Amino acid sequence: MGNFMNVSIVTCAWNRAIQLKNGVASILEQEHLPNEIIVVDDGSQDNGMTKEVCRLLAKMASDKGVDFKAIHLTDHPGARVSCYPRNVGLKHASHEIVLFTEPEMLHVGNTIQQMKEKIEADPDRLYVATQIWTMGYLVWESLTPEELADPDKIINHKYAQITDANNPVNTKAPNSDWGISGSNNCFAGCLFGTLKEHFMACRGFDESFFGYGWDDWDMIKRIELYLRIKKDNVRVHAPSSELCNDIVVVHQWHTKDYGFDVHQAATDNGKIASKRLDSGEYRANIGKKWGTLGRTKLNLGCGMKKKKGFVGIDIRPFEGVDHVLDVGKDKLPFEDNSIRYILADHLLEHLYPEQLFYCIEECWRVLKPTGVLHVRVPKAGTQAWFLDPDHKIHFTKDTFGFFLPPATGKDPRGYLKGFWHLNFIKQSNPEAIEVKMYPNKVGIKKYEYKSIDKVV
């Protein structure tokens, strides 16, 4: 891997719309910008304020040339601002470096470039911002737009003071509601990051945790353990993390109406984390097929009817669409051999032939060797095909034979590099054809897929 890497930022919010706007805006004001910002809204109940803020931030990011993804979860029954939405954000991150930051964090200076340069210099380390400032409610309400847009002014406020983390008494402020207090060596999950592959090796945040407490600490400590093991295997002995007092963030005031006992949740989560680390295990979600990260299923052309549990992809930004892109020309934002199931339900007939070949090739690329491409299309010559003037390609059952390996091993017309095996093909109703096929990848034998049609 080269020294130059791209950066995805992930932040998760619940009912913190104003703080989210200020925090992401402080990132977008930096001289060196990230390549992508992902906001995971964990079902905010604020009359649409968070969604409106995300629309505003998307426009701000677009104007700066930064990709922006807003994922609004509606099917998460658990406690808010927890491990599940963080893993959703990690799953959708498109780039080598992933930085996690809390939505209420104001970023001082060029925090993103600082983190990026450190990771590029030594990718096998984890970096944690440890100069953390906090503030009271009254001083937060008094901050001007100019101060919020330039957090350096906040840490130079008349009531701002660096204090001892063990004795955070601010002597400049009249009381705690007016205090802006900073501490060095403050180990917290306000901003931390490393390569995405390291997060994935540890299987993300532990989804057995309830609510808030120890989740960031556990993730950081497991990555430290993983990197120590990795370095020992190659006889390299160096610290696996760096606490960075030179990277400064300011924690905006916010309410803490979580609806559960935070201290009890932290105690319970801490017991799980400590037991696992004491055993030398760095992976979470064992026995759960990686939790959220191990159940990646794509719904191509999902429109307004995305299947539950799927990642939705469509050319239009409907509610629930996770990635807005053109499957006929855009690269799917997933690594090779990373997806186990793709559904293309009445999509392919809307593509031109060259777009179809591109889409099929991308599906082949991202599917695991044991993955499935599940297709439904209208049968050529039926009323279902003629009714929609946007239909472009005629499909019969024989059409899919085009994607099977030719005797020569190469597509004589040069359209396809990867070929497929059919699991089954049938006429699901008088006017539709249904197909399941799996990628014919090197080293995979056909007999391994006898029950592949059960993967739905």
- CB neighbour burial string for 36-55, b if at least 16 within 10 angstroms, e if fewer: bbbbbbbbbebeebbbebbe
How is the chain split into domains, by residue range? 7-278, 296-454
DSSP classification of residue 106: E
| Contact of 60 with 139, CB cutoff 8 Å | no
Query: 3-state DSSP helix/strand/coil percent for the chain, to nearest 5?
Result: 30, 25, 45
Find out if CATH 1.20.1250.20 is the number for domain 296-454. Answer: no
Q: Using CA of residue 40, residue 45, residue 46, residue 47, what is the dihedral sign?
A: positive
Please enumerate in sequence order all residues whose Cβ is within 8 A of that of 84, keeping only pairs 6 or more positions apart, or say none.
42, 73, 76, 78, 205, 207, 291, 292
74 backbone dihedrals φ, ψ, rounded to 5°: -125, -5
Output the six-digit token pair for 41.
Answer: 């809204």
- For residues 73 and 41, is the Cβ–Cβ distance under 8 A? yes
Whether the CB-CB separation of 357 and 392 falls below 8 Å is answered with no
Question: Could you identify the residue written with the tokens 């200020």?
Answer: 22
Please state, in angstroms and rounded to a whole number, the distance separating the CA atoms of residues 68 and 62. 7
Contact 105, 284 (CB under 8 A): no
Does the pTM surpass 0.85? The reply is no
The predicted pLDDT at position 287 comes to 67
Q: What pLDDT was estimated at residue 59?
A: 96
Q: What is the DSSP string of 307-356?
A: PTTSEEEESS--TT-SEE--TTTSPPSS-TT-EEEEEEES-GGGS-HHHH
Phi, psi of 383 (to 5 degrees): -60, -35
Pairing of strands 126-135, 180-183: antiparallel
**Residue 124 carries which DSSP code?**
T
List strand residue ranges (DSSP E) for 33-189, in order: 36-41, 67-72, 97-101, 105-107, 126-135, 160-162, 180-183
Domain 7-278, CATH:
3.90.550.10
User: DSSP letter string over 426-439?
Assistant: EEEETTEEEEEEEE
Check residue 209 and give its pLDDT.
87
For each of the chain's 456 residues, which pLDDT tens digit applies?
446 899 999 999 988 999 999 999 999 999 999 999 999 998 888 899 999 999 999 999 999 999 999 988 865 555 455 788 999 899 889 899 999 999 999 999 999 999 999 999 999 999 999 999 999 999 999 999 999 999 999 999 999 999 876 777 899 999 999 999 999 998 888 999 999 999 999 999 998 888 778 899 999 999 999 998 887 654 444 568 999 999 999 999 998 777 778 888 889 999 999 999 999 999 998 865 666 777 678 999 999 999 987 889 999 988 888 888 899 999 887 777 778 899 999 999 999 999 999 999 999 998 888 789 999 999 888 887 888 888 888 888 888 888 887 755 666 666 677 888 887 787 767 888 999 998 887 543 332 322 223 222
Nearest-5° Cα angle at 151, 147 to 156: 85
